[in-house]
Structure 1
């Protein structure tokens, strides 16, 4: 941190009341990177968190279960074929300047997202005509399935049934943008601009963002904290000191975990993110699931997914969610089945298999896994394996935008689900999907996926679980570990904050309880329930 910014942060801290005083302000510390205020251009998790205070769409997430909760949608209905949704807008929905929110605001905002064709614009491809519009092959707005039927009714037509659609609508890219901000490039300079969330922006500097309660918000009566202050710094020691002395409530990023006095405030939990390896299924013989499965069954999975190496080893691609937990992946070696599968595929003991090329970003852990693959396969079979380390800065572009489809046999990737549904991970494996980097095609997998589109909730989850099992048993995808989130917050004092798989904690639901200790000082008799950060890495 440069000295000027450090002084600014200390000056802010001097004005903050420590915990135990009358609380009128909630203070969060984020990393030094300032947030993008435009929700349609935002990419990062800190921005998604901040935007829960400023913007709202038809639905928002329940802070504990991640189930979609009606926000600007007073009610909604879906056609029998599951493709047409009608949303009634709340009659008391207003912008922070007091003007009414109408269905036309959604049409205008969502078409802007397609005009920008920003990173999350692909989320809109489930809507009829949206993909063609954003890619420029059909720029007629009336051909997009987003219609204002009347001032308070929005109709959305999908290209196919999507049971996860209301979950998807919780994402920030589907939030509303005030008409005055449609063409604005410098949103910071426009503060205070109109918003429709529970808080409105008051000021922003290079070290802090201040929001105050939006009294025009449709559910203002449920918003208890008058002011939110977000501080931005990468100084771990400073952030920890501010927390320990009770000047801030939540460290969402920076922090020296070993120096946190109230160790029960350390929150570590799995999130909707998985690191996995995948076969290049675009050419033979790797498009034969017998060959892929045979190779996977020759690997020592207990060693590869060791809990000594990873805090959250992953046996499945999708982090288990409520109602979705029956997926079965490859969990242990079986050399006898492996040899039989190879013989059935025409490669007894691996004879005749082409060279295996393992591409990886040249970090310690990917290199260790690639080396294990090479050692085990060359030991068990008559084949040659080549390691292909690549510069981390260019690795992902190289494997996703490859000109030569045969440039590697096996590679790795980390995927983060952007909405709380298995389809956030499984859609990318469907035939012809833009994100299907593996070139995976499997009839049984697609049959389960296609059946799931029109199924009811329970049956749908069962079908998706079967689809994932097919993907994993066929070894196109080899999960290694789930990622985790870490925050520092006294969740007994700051109520309404819950651990969840998206690491999203809407500010609307936060309120103060009674601190067990004041300020954030550990009780001498209180056991440390969380390991220091050095043990988590």
Structure 2
């Protein structure tokens, strides 16, 4: 069987040699690529309902409020449960602690009804008050909380203004996990201490508009309408914590933490974390796994060797080179998805000539993204013709069209690029981003006859340029932590997208042809053609709550979605991969009867 006795440590190190061999073989027309086995590694399944998962190093904390990415988010989803959970297949909200919910006619007031049989791992009832206190704690943590910008649409009842999100930063997405040894076990149990959280007086004056009319009813008020709010609160940061959460300040990793999810923390070692099915979980009879083991493998070759030998059943949250990904792609246990993150170019729409929408659209639709993928990014990215990777079936997308881009530029007064200033394209100091920028600059030259100066800057410099609006076009990247449309567009735009009305339209030049729809798909062009110019001008002055609005305004140019991948043994049932990298351990089971070489 191919790869059966191969040492993957050396496979990774000598991948270049393998790549050269592939090039040689592919150049020989008379040679055929040998048939491969359907799976990268066929090993016996574990004899019991035990799932062994390598998802990076040890988590830094079990605190839901600090769960920014894997491995923390994976563990928190396993041992805690929020109002809702996301279906891995559809990314739609399913009932969690809340068995049902309702929304007001204006999509601003959400009412959640909690299950009466929802319990903490210590047997106590989960109440609406637990959620009120946990949400307020999340707010009060300030910058110490993960994804605090997800609170930006929560209404405030008193004190300061609502929190604002920082602009998306131009760093790469994947950062290596940092291992930390588990903290010693606390001497006392995890009962809630009396009193409120110890936060500054001025912070305590800021209260979220979240209330508990009764023990099992939670009401949340929003600033702007959000019909997808149940998807937002499915994020791990919105899971409730027992008491005031003080245990997380004293002990980062402890198996004494009171939880409310399908699994509880049983053991913590340097090698990983062991979970056991919770006896107090409301739906425990439908949880199939008895044990989940998170195996700490911070290095890709360690994780791959463990997977090959049968020591683990799945690998996620690790980095393999593009060549290794290409070699793995034929195998049935190698899975790849567009990751919920976006690389894009932000345009300074306040600056001439970029304040003309036709110019922004011409720049956006003249980029040949498939060429960009094949030249620099394949197979590590997918072209982005929209902003959200989990809305792949949507009809409204950018349409790449060089001829129409030239027409748009001519309509804006720059026929064949004449009179257009040199574009200053700023990217962070990253060799890959510099190569991408040069490829795009050449496309703008070839397709629009526009000259571009590519400039590399440090992250701090780029941030300062953005705050001062001192740029033409700048590269940014953002991870989209939830499939909530409002939250994602807010994260991409980097500021509250609800525009302030004024006498001047910041997105459409006074001389612009507001009926220009050439950069959009047919469905979007049809929708815009049925609106008069005043309606279209108002469209960019109203709240930017949808992806369609963002695609029309084109304040940013979507470029590509990074890809994520997983290795999952064929006997693992219910492990559904998706762009959010959400795994529902409640749905996973082990087919102990599966045998190697089974077809």
TM-score between both structures, scaled by the size of structure 2: 0.72
Give the drift of 1:143. 4.6
Secondary structure of the corresponding residue to residue 240 of structure 2:
coil
Distance in 2 between residues matched to 1:339 and 1:402, nearest whole Å: 29
Deviation at 1:428, TM superposition (A): 4.2
Picking from 479, 485, 491, the partner of 1:422 is 485
Say what the alpha-carbon RMSD is for the aligned residues.
Answer: 3.5
Q: Are 2:265 and 1:201 equivalent residues in the alignment?
A: yes
Q: Please, which of 257, 281, 284 is the counterpart of residue 217 of structure 1?
A: 281
Whether the 8 Å CA contact 1:132–1:138 is kept in 2: the answer is: no
Residue of 294, 301, 304 corresponding to 1:230: 294
1:432-479, Cα deviation, whole Å (9 max, x unpaired): 52799xx974684873895897xxxxxxxxxx45324414xx5x4332
Structure 2: how far apart are the matches of 1:319 and 1:445? 28
Task: Give matches, 1:234-253, under 5 Å.
Answer: 234-253=298-317
> Are 1:430 and 1:441, in contact at CA under 8 Å, matched by a contact in 2?
no
The offset of 1:295, in angstroms, is 3.9
**Contact 1:55 1:175 survives alignment (8 Å):** yes
Alignment deviations for residues 146-184 of structure 1 (CA, whole Å, 9 cap, x no partner) = 111112211111112211100001001110101163364
Task: Render the CA deviation track for 1:56-83: whole Å, top value 9, x for unaligned.
Answer: 1110011221111111112222222322
* Residue from 107, 129, 135 that aligns with 2:132: 107
CA spacing shift, 1:468–1:402, aligned 2, 3 Å: closer
CA distance in 2, matches of 1:184, 1:47: 13
Which one of 547, 554, 558 corresponds to residue 479 of structure 1? 558
Spell out the pairing of 1:361-440 with structure 2 (5 A cutoff): 361-378=428-445, 384-390=451-457, 394-395=458-459, 397-402=460-465, 405-428=468-491, 433=496
**Deviation larger for 398-407 or 509-518:** 398-407
State the distance in 1 between where 2:120 and 2:95 align: 17
- 2-structure distance, mates of 1:144, 1:32: 35
After TM superposition, the structure 1 = structure 2 runs for residues 309-324 of structure 1, keeping only pairs within 5 Å, are: 309-311=377-379, 312-319=382-389, 321=391, 324=393
Q: Structure 1: which 5+ residue stretches go unaligned? A: 1-17, 454-463, 527-537
User: Residue 112 of structure 2 contacts residue 218 of structure 2 at CA under 8 Å; is this kept in 1?
Assistant: yes
Query: Residues 353 and 260 from structure 1, CA distance in 2 versus in 1: closer, same or farther, beyond 3 angstroms?
Result: closer
Query: Where does the alignment leave 5 or more consecutive residues of structure 2 unmatched?
Result: 1-42, 165-199, 500-504, 509-534
TM-score when scaled to structure 1?
0.79
**Counterpart position of 1:447:** 539
Query: Within 5 Å, which residues of 2 pair with 1:291-330?
Result: 291-296=359-364, 299-306=367-374, 309-311=377-379, 312-319=382-389, 321=391, 324-330=393-399
In the TM superposition, residue 263 of structure 1 has moved relative to its aligned partner by 3.4
1:135-174 matches, within 5 Å, as: 139=203, 143-174=207-238
Q: Secondary structure at the match of 1:263?
A: coil
Alignment partner for residue 467 of structure 1, among 531, 541, 549?
549
Task: Please give the alpha-carbon distance, in whole angstroms, between the structure 2 residues aligned to 1:119 and 1:401.
Answer: 23
What is the count of residue pairs matched by the alignment? 482
Q: Alpha-carbon deviation of 1:387? A: 1.8
**Which of the residues 102, 120, 128 maps onto 2:155?**
128
93-102 or 73-82: which moved more?
73-82
